[in-house]
Amino acid sequence: MAWKRPGVRIPLPPPIFQKASDSPTLGDILTSGRTLSGPMAVVQYGLMAFRLSILVVSLLLTCAGAHAQTEPTKESKEAAEKARLLKHPLDPLTEEEVKTVRKVMLDSKTATRYAQFASVCLSEPSKSDVLSFKPGDAIQRKAKVFFYEPKANESVEAIVDIDKKTVEKSTVVKKQSTFGREDNQLSDRLLRTNPDWLAALKKRGIDPLDAGVGTMPNRGYVDVKPDGSRYVLAVTYVDDKVNPGEVSDLLALVNVTKRKVEWVRDGGGSVRRSDADEDPTNPDRLEPTRTAPKALKTTMPDGATWTMEGSELKWQNWRFRIGTDPRVGLVLYTVGYEDGGKVRPVLYRASLSELFVPYGDPKFLMVNWFDAGEFGMNTAFPSSFVPGNDAPENAKFLSAMSVSPDGRPRTLPNSIAVYERDGGVLWRHGGESRRARDLVVASIHQAGNYDYIFNWVFHQDGSIEVQVDLTGYMETRNVERDKDPDEAHNGSGKELFGTLVAPRIEAVNHQHFFSFRLDMDVDGPVKNQIYEMNVKSADRKANPQPNGMAMTETLLRTEASAERDVDAAAHRCWKIVNNAVRNKFNQPSAYMLIPGETAVPYSAPDSYLRRISRFTEHQLWVTPFDPTQLYAAGSYVFDGDPDDGLPVWTKGNRSIEYEDVVLYYTVGVTHVPRVEDWPIMATHHAGFRLVPAGFFSSNPAIGVPTTKISP
């Protein structure tokens, strides 16, 4: 049942008599036309008059309240004006705006009631409009909508003008929309009536009632007809809580559009069972086994240092806005540092761009995921912070807005955490030191078996740290062995595709690639250049002494020259430079990207997997600003067509010199499982840093005062 707003009601006094028959109501008198008589008439009329007097008073008070509301007080006027001035073009969509978008789409028949909405998000205004915006200026609100029409088999993009309540643009794209529950539900129903699939179950002694079906995008694993149909691959498992099992060699191709099983491929293997008690979700394995440490309180008795006005957060010298994107989650806008009374730009827009997780077991070829592009971090994988565990007790939480498949707004509570934390020693010499304070803005997502926390950490020295936390439990496959043979761990050079973590359960080698999009605006959106910095031993001919250690800078002028890899031997870093702004030593204003943990892809260069994830082949890519180029693997990755994304955008080899540049940096994690990662992984930290390099003329943290300890 749809939620319906209750009507406005006039408050009435409670009845004097508990039974309706004891005393007639005013409605009884007015509608029945009868009069009262007898010895109780006087009493009853007296009671009625009393009730009428109370009703009149209530009506007068209500009218007075309504009149008072129509005559705003000075305080309410000031509050309304302040709210108006706080509005900004980059504010996330509200619940009411999402409702308006859905109504406009349906009323205009741009979408049918069968439409499956993948996302509804803010259609961001042009960068120039945002940067020229002043508080109080008029704001034009638009929404970007992605949805799938199952009857027409069409993926549609639309732009809705929220203020005018009109569809500004609607385009059918020859692409498949993100993965949805409907894909799995339909595949399950189709297979349960397919004779080949049922025969394969019977051969293995599996009751169809115990069989589970899981589906995943095809992405080019198998050839499909180029007829525009939506195809998914279906795998089978034994869905028995007591005696679960894996059927790794039974695969089906399902045509979702035509509601047809194209084929069933049966490798003929047997069911591999595992002990349900070894499952990582077994609550008995998560029971506490040690004495808890004594309480460690994280409190701020005087309140938080940071403040929020609308969507803008202010902390120390940092200024930025918080937004969200249904596909990649948390977005930070207009990040700047206040210096000398002026906010100096650093980043215009920063967010995750894609999350790709390939698995390395040849027997599980299809188990690879584009968590952002195929599902959506805020669409399919939202999660809420648990106060005191996911974030410290001084954290404050913000909600995010998403949509249900039918296009209705869905509020994601506690989706973003903001908190201050101790940052260790900020700087020290002798007995003079300062204690650091960090500001953390974080989002959290549960993507299937993995959990990810994205932390944007702002430091008092002008640096920004991007930290990715990985936890949850690992993807596994069932095997026959309870223990490893000696030859598996005696240095024989045998290829191992996973690690035995429990009896008959092997965790598979895999990787995580997090591509971040960084729209850099170092002291402004134009005139930026990219320099690569490499360190090496000095040329002995020019410098005979053996201790020479030199850094060389190389200007990256084009997109092709900026396809770069991390080189630990050269301590390779990259600078985003604005030569038009100089510090007092005539050094150009710059921010430096310092890599953290990284990885290279191990799938074969000619594989379909590499064709659709080419962005992983370099840690750094640089492009001139283009507001339509947001996602490293392309806007649509479901069908595995490599015709979009970074490798396609950079084919033109555009100039990146003196341009408004956008960096795409990929954090890579290669996970060779350990038995200590089971049943739940301890959190693994990865990331990178953006640090000032000539942006200031000295250490900006010198001005941080000493910490005073209360007696």
The per-residue pLDDT for range 292-303, each reduced to its tens digit, is: 899 888 889 889
- Span 244-261, average pLDDT: 91
State residue 711's pLDDT score: 62
Q: Which residues of 616-647 are buried (b: 16+ CB within 10 A; e: fewer)?
A: bbbbbbbbbbeeebbbbbbbbbbbbbbebbbb
More confident position, 283 or 272: 272
- Span 239-247, average pLDDT: 86
- The answer, yes or no, to whether residue 426 has pLDDT greater than 90, is yes
State residue 70's pLDDT score: 56
Characterise 407 by phi-psi region: left (phi > 0), alpha (psi -120 to 50), beta (else).
Answer: left
- 3-state class (DSSP) for residue 103: helix
State residue 282's pLDDT score: 80
| Local confidence band at 43 (pLDDT 50, 70, 90 cut-offs) | very low
- Span 244-251, average pLDDT: 89
| Local confidence band at 25 (pLDDT 50, 70, 90 cut-offs) | very low
The region of weakest confidence among 13-27, 151-165, 216-230, 337-351 is 13-27
| Local confidence band at 20 (pLDDT 50, 70, 90 cut-offs) | very low
State residue 676's pLDDT score: 96
| Local confidence band at 12 (pLDDT 50, 70, 90 cut-offs) | very low
Return the sign of the alpha-carbon dihedral for residues 224, 229, 230, 233.
negative
Q: What are 29's two structure tokens?
A: 């008198």
CB 127 within 8 A of CB 111: no
The per-residue pLDDT for range 590-607, each reduced to its tens digit, is: 999 999 999 999 999 988
State residue 485's pLDDT score: 86
The per-residue pLDDT for range 363-393, each reduced to its tens digit, is: 887 889 999 999 999 999 999 999 999 999 9
User: To which H or E segment does residue 365 belong?
Assistant: none
CB 618 within 8 A of CB 513: no
Rounded to two decimals, the pTM is 0.87
Give the Cβ contact number of residue 345 at 10 Å.
Answer: 18
| Local confidence band at 515 (pLDDT 50, 70, 90 cut-offs) | very high
- The answer, yes or no, to whether residue 107 has pLDDT greater than 50, is yes
The region of weakest confidence among 23-32, 249-258, 452-461, 529-538 is 23-32
Tokens 């200024």 sit at which residue? 319
- Phi and psi at residue 694, to the nearest 5°: 100, -5
If you write DSSP's letter for every residue of 405-419 in order, what string do you get? TTS-EEEEEEEEEEE
Question: How distant, in Å, are the alpha carbons of 494, 497, 501 from that of 450?
Answer: 28, 19, 17
Separation of alpha carbons 65 and 61, rounded Å: 6
Give the Cβ contact number of residue 139 at 10 Å.
Answer: 15
Q: Which of 92, 630, 646 is nearest to 372 (CA)?
A: 630
CB 419 within 8 A of CB 446: no
- The answer, yes or no, to whether residue 520 has pLDDT greater than 60, is yes
Residues in the chain: 711
The per-residue pLDDT for range 454-491, each reduced to its tens digit, is: 999 999 999 999 999 999 999 999 998 999 888 778 77
- Span 399-407, average pLDDT: 94
Q: What are 549's two structure tokens?
A: 């250690």
State residue 24's pLDDT score: 34
Domains observed in the chain: 20-58 (no CATH), 84-173 (3.10.450.40), 181-273 (3.10.450.40), 307-484+512-703 (2.70.98.20)
If you write DSSP's letter for every residue of 539-551 in order, what string do you get? PTTT--STT-EEE
- The answer, yes or no, to whether residue 175 has pLDDT greater than 90, is no
Strand-strand pairing, 312-315 and 318-325: antiparallel
- Span 51-74, average pLDDT: 49
The per-residue pLDDT for range 677-690, each reduced to its tens digit, is: 999 999 999 999 99
For residues 184, 185, 188, 190, the Cα torsion angle rounded to the nearest 10 degrees is -110
State residue 15's pLDDT score: 34
- The answer, yes or no, to whether residue 4 has pLDDT greater than 50, is no
Give the ranges where 338-436 is alpha helix by DSSP (H): none
